[in-house]
Chain A
Amino acid sequence: MSQATSRGVKIQKRKTQILPGDSRTARKALQKRKQDFLRRINYFSLLTAVLLPLCAIAYLIKEGLSVLPENPRTRWLGVIYYCITMLAFTAGYHKYYAHSTFRIRSSLLHVFFVVFGASIGLGPVRVWAAMHRAHHQYTDDVDRDPYSIKRGFLWAHWGWLLKRPKSTTFYKEFIEQEFPIVSGDNELSSKLTTGSAVITESDLRIGNALETYEIKVSDSKDRQRQTLEWMAWQESWNFILFILTSLLIPTLVAIWYCGDTWVNGLIYSGILRMFVSQQLIFFTESICHAKWLQVTIPSQPFNDKNLLVDCLNPIVALLTFGQALQNYHHEFPHDYRVSSLTWAFDPTKWFIWSLSCVGLVDELCKTPKDLVMQLRIQQKQQVLNHMRSQLNWGTPLSKLPMITAKEFNRLCQSAAGQDRIYIVIQNVIHDITPFMDQHPGGLALLQASHGKDATKAFYGGVYGHLTAAVNLLATMRIGVLDTGDDEGVWRRVAREEGDVDARDERQGGQHRSAEAA
């Protein structure tokens, strides 16, 4: 019954609601739910992600063995095999099948990706890549993101893999749409077109009109077909491949090459290595997606509307082969790199790049530097706009009353007895009283300028005030001096209050009709 207890609080609550009623129907419902539950378990993942590691750890405890193998050769085997399989996963499963960030030129690579990627034990690439695409398309969507962080940390980490999703049809259709099973040429082309989009009904017509791109398209379709075939092949042989790469190969290598026992080879370089790589991949989906989890310095340089962070924790970056910068990755999923920085720690990038040097892959997808910069700037601008909106910038000029010189003089005379100071700067009347004692240049200067226009003195005649002083001054505005030059005042208003819009405009933010242009 340990499984039953792990069902979650929700179901147990429902159980208690039903039980007091008709006990027979309730029991039936319970039984059905139990069946449903058992049906919804992903047994393959349960085996790879829970049972095998548990057995391995239990064995270690029973035998009193260390977490690291004693035989140094087995240790090295574990590390090297970890790197090989992780690269097959990050470069193959993730960067190629899910995001197609480059083009494969040799089917040898397909073999490598598909065979060794299976050793992580995360299921067939067809399902995983489609799920990952769904995750990118519907990030943070509770219903459609398969590992939405909003369903809880553990769900995003582990739960989604063990429990099949509720909306089975949706995901089935999604997988079928992203990676249709192919058997023949005609079927593929029709599936590809129907699967891809809404506007593609007119695909044929356009195809005729565009001879220049014809070859390109058919070429890419050919490659697409090849990829799909490999994916289908792997799906059907998934379990065998998993047994082979995850358990058999490390065991045999450990026996023949490292001179270790078969158990050690199986446990360390087989199961525990798999467990570690699984957990690290899960970490990128859980820790790096949880803004609220302050495990690292939270950093969202590209988009802070979602929960994705660029996890700057060096350990996570080291072990996930640099996959931890999720904020960048979700904004530029088609980039084969994990960061726009040239010297970022990113073994996956190095691996793909060396493959391209050898000539096994080409057309690496790289985001232009300017685009990354633009997004960075836009995000920073949003942060700054928020900061700006939180501050007091003084009453806007347009909201201030117009006061004539006569009225102003009367005001000053009436305030003569009290300890108040009114100063006009650039035709705006300021009540300096609250700042009187803090003025770094002393009170005497303020008193001498009471009731007068001190524009010249303020801007360099006596002291060239800095930005901070100008800001402070603005918070003390009380009116606009009416000198008859309305035009000048209005120009100033437009300059001061319109500057936000003007700044937006540079990014293309104005709403106008084309005819005006």
Chain B
Amino acid sequence: MGWPYHFFFGAPAPPDFFFFPFTQRFAAPVPPATVGQSHPDAVLQTRPNIYIPPDIPSLIPILISIRLTMSQPELLESVDITSLNALAAGANKKNPRVVAAGLGGKLMGTKSIVDVTAEQMAKDSETFYEKDERERQKYRKQMHISEKPWTLSNWHQHINWLNSVLVVFVPAIGFYHAFTTAPQMKTVALAVFLYVLCGVSITAGYHRCFAHKAYDAHWSVRAFFAFFGAGAVQGSVKWWAHSHRIHHRYTDTNRDPYDAREGFWYSHMGWMLTKANPKNRARADISDLTSDPIVVFQHRHYLAVMVLSSVVLPCVVAGLGWGDWKGGFIYGGILRFFCIQQATFCVNSLAHWIGTQPFDDRRTPRDHVLTAFVTFGEGYHNFHHEFPSDYRNALKWYQYDPTKVCIWILSKFGLAWNLKTFSQNAIEQGLYQQQQKKLNRMKEKLNWGTSVQELPVWDRSYFNEIAKKEGLIIIAGIVHNVKNFIKEHPGGAALVNASLGKDATKAFNGAVYQHSNAAHNLLATMRVAVIKDSAVESNTFDLQEEMMAKKAI
């Protein structure tokens, strides 16, 4: 028996499909009819070569067209990957080149990230092994700093100094002063208030509105997000959304700016404290962002907006309000933005590290309530990567997603509209497939008994010869070896002994005792052979139901 045989029987197609003439090529040699009419194989044997389903008469002209076009197949034009990649990278449009003004732009070095041509992008269609090989060839002679090992002489070249200053050194100074300055309660309240404003600006604004276009917002809301988002000191909208789009497009690959495969620390902060390898650069279409005047303005004057929003604002409010200039600067400014930074980094690290994967476990994103608590509801990351442009991150009522609620409230006030959701059908499909996958994995670990095809076929006389010696029993046309089980039979050994060497199908399936599902499973593991000239019913579950139904009548 070759593969077509198993192929055919392993996966029988519904009968109404058999209008394709070539099916016969795959059909195994059908055995002559030896069993009764009720046997399901009867259907197989009487099936015509070409079966035209009566319920789809409209297919007939198509059938004819199959015949006509068989000889002259006409291939369809395939899309050009290069041009499509150019599209995806936004190279088709004339983007105004938005560069941060003055010192800020130079320090941020955004230019090097987006500096890549469409042709280079198109080469992505090769596998990563091929691509890695090509890159290796390219950098064989001259190594980028990120590929060189860290030594005492070059360590300062590895570090991205601007980010280090903003993310590590400034907070460190803040912490130092925090030990010497006691805050006023009002200042702490202000810090918490600003924390919430900036946090929501990052999640609802930077992330779901700008990066994913999950909804459209009024210009005032976008301006609010742009201002307070800058206060979180995580870069401009343009830069943030761009790298986030790249992250979604290239999750868990070398091109992923915060590649979770590199480890927790790298995806948390390491990626921004060190210089990125230019061979891993990628690009996404951000033409919608560069055409938004608010985003453009924020990017142009990012450094000024950032300083104003993150430090000056709390400092001035606390100073003018209750004279706590220094407390406002340290607690309302530095320590607050440090907390938001760490919370946001947790999405890149924690959400790819702990939790469950209810939708897809082929990539690293995970769902965890802890991450959700830290990040205003961005913790349901497996869902988010599967359905990125859904304005929700959590679906169930008990899952914590305040950002979703904020957006929903905005929409009720008419400040947000066009809230995007994926269909419930698609979401449940994802859930189903992942659960099925897990279940299949569990199934493979267990012994379900030899499949009927692999069993030898025995004559009845041969069976009679050895049955009593070997402790054999026939149930549903299959010989089972119950020798080692006799002692353990819950109904007593006598019953099993009495049916040794006999057909106990009826007794097993309800005449004596209606066995539980567990018993059916156990029985399957004891299969030895198939008996010739009898109806084989390997699915004893259905058989039992049939028999019990008959009995009930």
Contacts and interface: CB of A to CB of B under 8 A. Distances in A.
Interface in B19-43: 20-23, 25-26, 28, 30-31, 34-35, 39-41
B518 A375 contact: yes
A168 B448 CA distance: 43
A498 B10 contact: yes
Contacts of A408: 76
Interface in B532-553: 532-540, 542
A217 B493 contact: yes
Contact of A441 (B88, B422, B521): B88
Contacts of A210: 468, 497, 500
B426 A472 contact: yes
A513 B518 contact: no
A263 interface: no
B9 to A, nearest CB: 7
Interface in B473-500: 477, 486-488, 490, 492-495, 497-500
Interface string B154-189: 000000000000000000000000000000000000
Given A332-B516, A457-B79, A514-B534, A371 B522 contact: yes
Contact of A199 (B389, B468, B477, B498): B498
A466 B385 contact: yes
A200 B76 contact: no
Interface residues of A, number: 113
Given A209-B468, A463-B249, A200 B212 contact: no
Contact of B493 (A216, A424, A457, A499): A216
Contacts of A341: none
Interface in A298-355: 302-303, 331-334
A208 to B, nearest CB: 10
B79 A468 contact: no
5 contacts: A199-B504, A217-B493, A461-B85, A490-B13, A493-B13
A462 B81 contact: yes
Interface in A344-370: 365, 367-368, 370
Given A217-B494, A515-B31, 18 more contacts: A209-B468, A333-B490, A384-B439, A444-B87, A452-B77, A462-B125, A466-B360, A467-B362, A468-B426, A471-B426, A471-B429, A483-B73, A503-B440, A509-B539, A514-B531, A517-B454, A517-B457, A517-B530
Nearest to B514: A137
Contacts of B21: 486
Interface in B82-112: 83-85, 87-88, 92
B409 interface: no
A388 B516 CA distance: 26
Contacts of A22: none
Interface stretch (B58-66, B191-199, B200-208, B265-273): B58-66
B109 to A, nearest CB: 27
Contacts of A384: 432, 435-436, 439
Interface in B140-159: none
A490 B24 CA distance: 12
Interface in A381-403: 381, 384, 387-388, 390-393, 398-399, 401-403
Contacts of A468: 359-360, 386-387, 422, 426-427, 429-430
Given A453-B76, A486-B20, A511-B537, A220 B493 contact: yes
B137 interface: no
Nearest to B284: A441
Nearest to B68: A404
A444 B495 contact: no
Interface string B226-259: 0000000000000000000000110000000000
Interface in A205-231: 206-207, 209-210, 213, 216-217, 220
A454 interface: yes
A474 to B, nearest CB: 9
A81 B471 CA distance: 48
A381 B497 contact: no
Contacts of B540: 508
Interface of A: 100, 137, 192-193, 196-200, 202-203, 206-207, 209-210, 213, 216-217, 220, 302-303, 331-334, 365, 367-368, 370-375, 377-378, 380-381, 384, 387-388, 390-393, 398-399, 401-409, 424, 438, 440-442, 444-445, 448-449, 451-457, 460-463, 466-468, 471-472, 475, 481-487, 489-490, 493-495, 497-499, 501-503, 505-517
A424 B75 CA distance: 11
Report the 10 A-B pairs with minimum CB-CB distance, sorted nearest first: A498-B11, A484-B73, A398-B17, A334-B490, A511-B40, A514-B530, A461-B125, A508-B538, A405-B74, A440-B389
A448 B78 CA distance: 11
B139 interface: no
B449 interface: yes
Nearest to B21: A486
Given A196-B494, A507-B448, A375 B521 contact: yes
Nearest to B440: A503
A511 B35 CA distance: 12
A387 B504 contact: no
Interface in B445-466: 446-449, 451-455, 457
Contacts of A463: 88, 249
A456 B493 contact: no
B435 A380 contact: yes
